[in-house]
Structure 1
């Protein structure tokens, strides 16, 4: 997949294709249905298809003091889109200049002049241009004016519940409550963190549980607790999968006042500093809590690891029926 950042030149091979446009945070099952329409249109016209998205999230631009809980920050979103077969991902810088463009100026500059699109696919609730004045009707009118086709994808819901549309907001709320399996069903894959292993305070080594520390984006806000996780090296094709116990919280026993993602790899001994890892959240083991002593904490951590292994060794087909869930299980994302 070709990555096109900001206003950098667009490779000729990426021009004249189908563009799916949106924020696509989570790349959840609703987004996947929209991207499948773009892929089908590309196949029908025998032209490439790809995605146009925005960084930072527009909400972060307009409300910088309220960080957004991003389900899929840029690097992870790129890998998911590539796994679905996109030929390109064009990421526009969402800044003051972009926010001030009228809907027509946005379409002319970014879709017509830069990408030379032949077709655009967007959701029924996507808005664009200054004051969010552009919507499906606007895009349809501008498509007729500039000579490209437009497909508007209506609300996508689970076949089992017509009143439950797939929603990034709903998934965030599920994760804030520790409902990782419910979130996975809406995502169509296990919610994951992709990040670099950095040095922490190495306190875990002193109590027999050396952990990997991964920095999270501002706004990340899943339920504080211990999770059963699967981990693999994101930089190595066909990397082995490690079982682990993941911790998201602020270490109340040690009064750190900071938020962490720490992962203990069960049965692993090695150095992964500087490596980028995928951490897949499988199930919540227990909520975070304060312990009266280090010995009490260590005893509980041993129990947590046993519980994580038991959960990870149980059958797990919650999301493998969906394309990204299947690719994730195969280690291909």
Structure 2
């Protein structure tokens, strides 16, 4: 997959393209459906396929006070896009100037001159450009002049019967409720948080449950505080079953400032400090709570690990 960060660098000189546009945070089932259609239409018509996206979530610039936490960081988003078989990702810098660009200007600059677009595949509710002025209807109208067509894709409904399409917002809401199983269903993979293993207070080791203290960037969306089963991936690609605690550890701290992400790798012994970690949440085990003493906490931790092993099949 080519990654293009400057529209003056034409990815497919002399070739036409089938494209889609969007933030694509999470690359969930709805996104996957749109991109699969792009790839299929490109193959069928002998054209190239491309995703037009941005170097940050547009809301960070447009409405910073309510910008959502990210389901995927830039690196993971690029990995997921490449796995779709798309030919190119055009990653545009999103700043104040970009937020004020008129839809017609964006179409001419990016879709026509950079990509020689012949077909645009987007969700039926797609909006773009200054004040979200651009939509499917505008694309169709402008396409008559510039020789491209528009194929809106019907939004994918949630599998749990809720009258709402799969969306990044719905996934964030599921995570906020600790429902990592539903989030995973909409993502088609376990929700993953990435960070670096840093030095903690080593309290888990003293209790007989050493943990990797994973420092996750503030911009990352995380599930609700609680205990989860999941998988831990190291930089060498090896994965380990784990019990994950996300919370403020009320048994030891009366008023912690923020939640801490700790993963106990089941059956693992070794040094993880300084490593990049990928934590995949598969199952919610229980809510975080304060215990009366160390013995009660250790008994619960043993039960959590046993429950995680059962769910993970290890």
Fold shared by both chains (TM-score > 0.5): yes
Contact 1:197 1:273 (C-alpha < 8 Å) held by counterparts: yes
In structure 2, distance between residues paired with 1:65 and 1:75: 24
Change (3 A) 1:253 1:14: farther
For residue 241 of structure 2, the aligned residue among 237, 240, 243 is: 243
- Cα shift at 1:160: 8.0
User: In 2, Cα distance between the equivalents of 1:80 and 1:171?
Assistant: 17
Q: Is the 8 A contact 2:224 2:246 kept in 1?
A: yes
Distance in 1, matches of 2:82 and 2:294, equals 45
2:115 maps to which residue? 115
The SS at the match of 2:252 is coil
Deviation at 1:7, TM superposition (A): 5.5
Q: Does the CA contact (< 8 Å) of 1:14 and 1:87 recur in 2?
A: no
User: Which SS does the other structure have where 1:262 is aligned?
Assistant: strand
Q: 1:185 to 1:103 in 2, by over 3 A?
A: same
Q: 1:286 to 1:161 in 2, by over 3 A?
A: closer
**CA RMSD, aligned part only?**
2.5
TM-score of the pair, normalised by structure 1: 0.84
**Which consecutive unaligned segments of at least 5 residues does structure 2 have?**
none
CA contact (8 A) 2:11 2:114 kept: no
Looking at structure 2, the residues matched to 74 and 240 of structure 1 have their Cα atoms a distance apart, in angstroms, of 22
Distance 1:48 1:214 in 2: 40
- 28-37 vs 211-220, greater mean Cα deviation: 211-220
Partner of 1:195: 195
Deviations 1:147-174 (A, max 9, x none): 2332211222257859442122222111
Whole-Å separation in 2 of the counterparts to 1:93 and 1:127 = 18
After superposition, residues 1-333 of structure 1 pair within 5 angstroms as 1-5=1-5, 9-12=9-12, 16-158=16-158, 161=161, 163-218=163-218, 220-233=221-234, 235-236=235-236, 239-255=237-253, 256-313=256-313
Q: CA deviation at 1:38?
A: 0.4
Q: Is the 8 A contact 2:16 2:116 kept in 1?
A: yes
Shift of 1:299: 2.7
The size of the alignment, in residue pairs, is 311
